[in-house]
Structure formats: structure tokens, C-alpha cells
Structure 1
Amino acid sequence: MTSHDSLNFEVDAHCSGQRLDKALHYYCDDVSRARLQALIKEGQVRVNGFQETRASEKVALGDVLHVVIPPAKEAAPRPQDISLDIVYEDDDMLVINKPAGLVVHPGAGNHDGTMVNALLHHCGDSLSGIGGVIRPGIVHRLDKDTSGLMVVAKHDKAHQGLSEQLSDRSLSRVYLALVLGVPMPPSGTVDKPIGRDPRNRQKMAITAQNSREAQTHYAVKVNYRDVLSLLQCRLESGRTHQIRVHMAHIKLPLVGDPLYGPQPTALRAALKRAGYERDDIEVIVGFPRQALHATRISFIHPMTEERMSFDVDPPDDFANLLKILDK
């Protein structure tokens, strides 16, 4: 764990002419403006390589902002007796089937009731500390409303081994995604960088600005009357909202996705054209989360070097959608 976060941003047209603290808050939306003002005053911010201690200083297009954010003191999560669906467990790690609706680790607005709280109750002190106080054992994450498989490390050596596999892509993750539309050809790869959406800080987007490379391979598993399809998606990288953003980018938005999904009117019209019954259409249109499930995870055991692979079917709500579409 590093002693601080060191971040660099290049000022784009949206922030040109704004105060330094306001521009930084735009790029670091998970840090309060008050804290950023304090960091500026403490000399933790540089503009084009020069220390700047005035929060009111205006920034210009192309300015390079560098900010050092010391770690905030983290409150240790408390163990909570929350049920876990454990697919596999040994002395080194666990494989968990996370339900939709369960947040992985504590954060703003979710101080407890998370998977980490459940893991602390189940494992006691035997979780890797590499993820920090609030993310013990967490090697990778799933969005709150995405279901499926995650691997958790019980000690630092296991965590290091699994993290290295994430980096070199020998840890494989396969998802099922229900989308509006059918891709032609039926398989392909989206290779587009993902970063924070400059127009909506709650979303991610395909952008060259302050982004990271991302690749998603997809293939049609089931075609539902030429209007919806169940895709199998395999990640080469693991960016926030990656499958959701990439599929929306190629005009295959995920059913139920509140951020990137299809307009209800468009989805309803497509299902009606395909001949689905009214009650079934309303169930599909009203699906309350992104129809995305992490169905398979494969990796090399970090201690025994055995190749391991685990599969889980979609949960009941997702499975019910597929049953309706199969009629």
C-alpha cells in the first residue's frame, strides 16, 4: 500500500479558466473541495511543475496539475454476520458468489453491510492486508448491482500472486450480459480507453482524456428473436463499468442498466415488435438492475500453482428474464 496517491491531470476545455480548487474537484470528484483547498494550502499541488498555494488561481487549457493526496485515516470495518455464498475456500483464499445489491467494501454512503464486513466475520483476522484497512482481502471488485464470482485473498502472499495474474491477464473473468440488439458479426472485441465522463462524474465513458486502456471480447450466446441477445463477455482489463460502457458504445446497451441502458420506450417497442406478451414486456422493461453476471473465473492457485476454474449460473432474477425471453 502506498503512503499517498499522486495524481496528474491535464486541464481540458471544460475546466479552462476555472479556479484551481474547482478544477481539481472536477477531476478528483471523490475528494471534497474543502480537502483539496487544504492540500493546495499545504503545498501538495503543482501547476506545470510549480507549487501553487492559492486555491483561487485560474488554470488554463493544457495546464498539467499534479496533486499529492495523503491517505485519510480509515475507520476499520466491523465484522457483521452477513451470509456469504462461498463456492470454494482453503487456507489461502475464497471464491465468493456475490449477490446483486451487496456492496464489496465500505465507502461513502456504505459504511457497513458490505461483503468486507461479512468476510471479517467469517475469516476473522486471516485476510490479506494489502487492500488496506477498508478493503482487506479484496483482489478485484464487482459493481454493487452486478452478481457473480469474486476471489478473495486470505494472506498477503496469496493477494500478491492473484494481483499479478490480474496484471498479466492470466486471471480470466467471463460475464453474461443481456443487451438490446444483436451484434453483426456475432463476435468481436471493443478496444477503447475508459475514463471518467467529463459531462457526468457519476459515469464512465470512452475518452482519451485521463483514461486507461480497456479491452472487452464478446460473443453471442443466445439470440432472442433478433431483438435481444445474451452475450458472453471476457475482460482483458478491469475498468470501472467496463462491459456496460463498451457495450453501450457499440449500441448494445445492457437491459436494466440505470446509467448506460436503453430508453424504456425503445426496449418496449423492440419487444413488442418481436411479439412478446404485454406482461412479459413490462417485467423485462422493469428489470431493476443491469443484467450482468460474472459467471466464470479462472486462475492459477497462488500457492499450489494448480489451474482452477469456477462457474455459477445467473441468480433467480436474471434467470427469470432469460426464461421469459425463451418463450
Structure 2
Amino acid sequence: MNSYTYKIKIFIDKNQKEIRIDKFLKNYIQNISRNQIQNLTISGKVLVNRNIIKKNYKIKPLDFVEIEIYKPSVIDYLEYKNITEEKINLDIIHEDEDVIVVNKPAGMVVHPGFGNETGTLIHGIKYHLINSNFNELNLYRCGLVHRLDKDTSGLLVLAKNEYSQKHLFQQFYSRTIQRKYIALIWGNLIEEKGTITGFIGRDPRNRKKMKIFKQNQEINRGKFSITHYKVLERFKHLTYVSCYIKTGKTHQIRAHFKHLGHPLFHDSIYGGNRIFMKKKCSNQNIEFMKNCLKILQRQALHAISLSFIHPKNGKCYFYCPIPEDFKTVLNNCRSYHNKVPRKRI
């Protein structure tokens, strides 16, 4: 028996009476409990009219419902349980009996998968927990509540028990967790601050990329996404920005700035590994940019801070410094372009 994910799409009849969504789906889908439906709703796997909903939402006539269900096999469960712990140096910013906050370096994959069977963050977390007398974490059911791309650095929070997982999932679903990123992008943004929105989904021409789709394609193609940004510093041909994401879709910041025509510096998937507007650059500028690309050999994106409500201790805030490769390029840009003092982030 294999594990798989499948989606159910339901167009509600115009004569449908108002009814709680868990009750409606319990009657509509075989072999699913109301508790399972509520957990899926809390984790953002149930959408109505392309929006995340609360578990007490009542279905209305002509609603469009989507539910994503993952069916693990016994083999899949055992593979998770039998992940071999690996001694990996982890930069743990905070740890208590409920959560771990980790500063993930660029180049580390978060979760094992095809082509990344070893050396992931989860392998290191399992080793850490076993050697810290916290060896009861079920890596399949608990742990990850969000992820970072392999070459994005910065803060991740992991749940250490089912209660914490549900608590954090609820905050992600209600968009109360605040995640701040810094990024270096190609070009000169027109506005000092702004918001990027759009329906984001897999690019049908390249499954490794995400794409922003037109609104009339939303039902079949994308999930609504929101990124707020603010300019921190302007350099010649580059802009340093901070970003808050209201939604956490795959490659969201990377795809959003590509959509604006300003790909992230050295983002090889979205075209940021080539010198932007090369014809308008002097030979001196080109050489400077080439040198920066050699220093920062991945997309210039770092999850610099994280704020959420701790399951037991209330609101908490965590910060991690800018990695050396990113910092070096920023400092080189400041020296080279002799810009005004930077704004606080």
C-alpha cells in the first residue's frame, strides 16, 4: 500500500442548506472522521472559495470547497520512524519542552526526500532529541509546521509534541505568526514599500518553478498569496528589501519578485544568477557583480526573525544574524556604491 495525496473539489449546490463544514464533509467523504476534518481545516488543507476557513465555518449555496488529504502507508510511517539520526551541527536558537527554534544554514534540506535521503535538518533534529532525552517525538505526526527552501537560510520553528503542533498550525492558518525575511533583488524598485499578491502555482512548463497566474485561472492553477515588502537600501542595479509574508506558499517571495521583474540575486531557478540589465552596466559594474555572485552562491534570501504565541509562554520573538556570505555582499555594495546609511531592519 503506497502513500499518496489527493484533492477533492466540491461545487456546492444552489439549494444546499447551511451546515457546518465538518458535518458536511463527513457525510460527503467515506472513511473520514470529523476530528480528521477539523485537523485538516486547522492545518489549512480545507479551502472554501480559495480561502482558508475556521473549523466552524458553515457551507453556503454555490460555495467551492477543496480538501487535500494525505494517506500514509504503513511503510511510509516506518520510513519516518526509522530515519537514522545523524550528528549534524545545528544552530538552535531556543528550545524548551514544546518547541525548537533553529537557524537553518543555506544548503541544508529541511526534510528527507528523493535525492536527499541523508543530511537533512530532520536527521539532525532526531539525533539532537535522542541525545537530549527528548526521544519521544513522532517525526511523522509532529515536528515540522513550515519549511524553508534548501538555499534559503534562517529561522524555523518545530513542534515537539502534538499539542504544540496544533497550536502552531492554528497560528499559521489564522496568519498570526509573523515571519520577516530580508532579500537582495535585481533592479531598482519603484515604490519604497508595497504588497505583492497573486495566485501562485506550479509552472506547467517547469515543475521546479512556481508561477503567478491570472485571477481567472485561480480555480485550477493557483493559491492566493500575499507578500508585503519595504525598501531598506538602494544600490546601483540592486535593491535590499525586507518582506513579511501573510501566506507561506512554495517559493512565494522568489516567485513574487520574479513576477515584478526583479528576481532575487543569484536565484538560479528564477533567473537571478545572471547580471540584470547587463547592457546598461559598465565593465566595472559587471566585474563587481560577478565577484558578488561568486561570494553569495545561492539566492539572497534569509528568514531573519520569527514571532508567534508560544503554546504555554505567550508571545515570543526570535532573531538570527545575517549569514556571512549575505553580509559580505551587502557590505561590498555599501562600500562600492557609497550609499547613505542603511535603515534599521
| TM-score, normalised relative to structure 2 | 0.71
Mapped contact 2:275–2:289 kept (Cα < 8 A):
no
Quick one: which amino acid aligns to residue 241 of structure 2?
L
1:127 to 1:169, Cα distance in 2 relative to 1, 3 A: farther
Q: Which one has the bigger strand percentage?
A: 2
Identity between Structure 1 and Structure 2 (%): 37
2:290 corresponds in structure 1 to 282
2:195 corresponds in structure 1 to 189
Give 5+ residue unaligned stretches, structure 1: 10-65
Quick one: which amino acid aligns to residue 268 of structure 2?
P
Question: Given the alignment of the two structures, is residue 297 of structure 1 paired with residue 306 of structure 2, yes or no?
Answer: yes
Q: Give distance in 1, aligned partners of 2:95 and 2:68.
A: 41
Q: Give distance in 1, aligned partners of 2:315 and 2:68.
A: 41
1:102 corresponds in structure 2 to 108
Q: Give distance in 2, aligned partners of 1:108 and 1:4.
A: 15
Question: Given the alignment of the two structures, is residue 232 of structure 1 paired with residue 242 of structure 2, yes or no?
Answer: yes
2:260 corresponds in structure 1 to 250
Quick one: which amino acid aligns to residue 296 of structure 1?
S
1:7 to 1:119, Cα distance in 2 relative to 1, 3 A: same
1:264 to 267, 274, 279: 274
1:188 to 1:68, Cα distance in 2 relative to 1, 3 A: closer
1:271 to 1:83, Cα distance in 2 relative to 1, 3 A: farther
Mapped contact 2:199–2:223 kept (Cα < 8 A):
yes
Q: Give distance in 1, aligned partners of 2:156 and 2:247.
A: 15
2:167 corresponds in structure 1 to 161
- Please give the per-residue CA displacement for 1:232-279, whole angstroms capped at 9, x wherever unaligned: 010000000000000110111100101113362435555538x6472x
Q: Give distance in 1, aligned partners of 2:239 and 2:84.
A: 42
Mapped contact 2:273–2:293 kept (Cα < 8 A):
no
Q: Secondary structure at the match of 2:247?
A: coil
Mapped contact 1:254–1:290 kept (Cα < 8 A):
yes
Quick one: which amino acid aligns to residue 7 of structure 1?
K
Q: Give distance in 2, aligned partners of 1:67 and 1:154.
A: 24
1:321 corresponds in structure 2 to 329
Q: Secondary structure at the match of 1:202?
A: strand
Quick one: which amino acid aligns to residue 244 of structure 1?
R
Q: Give distance in 2, aligned partners of 1:166 and 1:296.
A: 15
Mapped contact 1:127–1:137 kept (Cα < 8 A):
no
- For residues 1-327 of structure 1, what are the structure 2 equivalents within 5 Å? 5-8=5-8, 70-72=71-73, 73-74=75-76, 75-76=79-80, 77-124=83-130, 126=135, 128-129=137-138, 132=140, 136-207=142-213, 208=218, 209-225=220-236, 227-262=237-272, 264-266=274-276, 268-269=278-279, 272=282, 276=285, 278=287, 280-286=288-294, 287-304=296-313, 306-327=314-335
Q: Secondary structure at the match of 2:292?
A: helix
Quick one: which amino acid aligns to residue 302 of structure 1?
P
Aligned length: 263
Q: Give distance in 2, aligned partners of 1:163 and 1:127.
A: 20
1:220 to 1:67, Cα distance in 2 relative to 1, 3 A: closer
Q: Secondary structure at the match of 1:257?
A: coil
Quick one: which amino acid aligns to residue 320 of structure 1?
T
Q: Secondary structure at the match of 2:144?
A: coil
2:343 corresponds in structure 1 to none
| TM-score, normalised relative to structure 1 | 0.74
Give 5+ residue unaligned stretches, structure 2: 10-66, 336-345
How far off is 1:128 after superposition? Answer: 4.7
How far off is 1:288 after superposition? Answer: 1.9
Mapped contact 2:266–2:274 kept (Cα < 8 A):
no
Mapped contact 2:195–2:227 kept (Cα < 8 A):
yes
1:67 to 1:127, Cα distance in 2 relative to 1, 3 A: closer
Quick one: which amino acid aligns to residue 210 of structure 1?
R
Q: Give distance in 1, aligned partners of 2:278 and 2:292.
A: 8
Mapped contact 2:275–2:286 kept (Cα < 8 A):
no
How far off is 1:185 after superposition? Answer: 1.5
Q: Give distance in 1, aligned partners of 2:280 and 2:184.
A: 14
Mapped contact 1:102–1:115 kept (Cα < 8 A):
yes
Q: Give distance in 2, aligned partners of 1:230 and 1:326.
A: 11
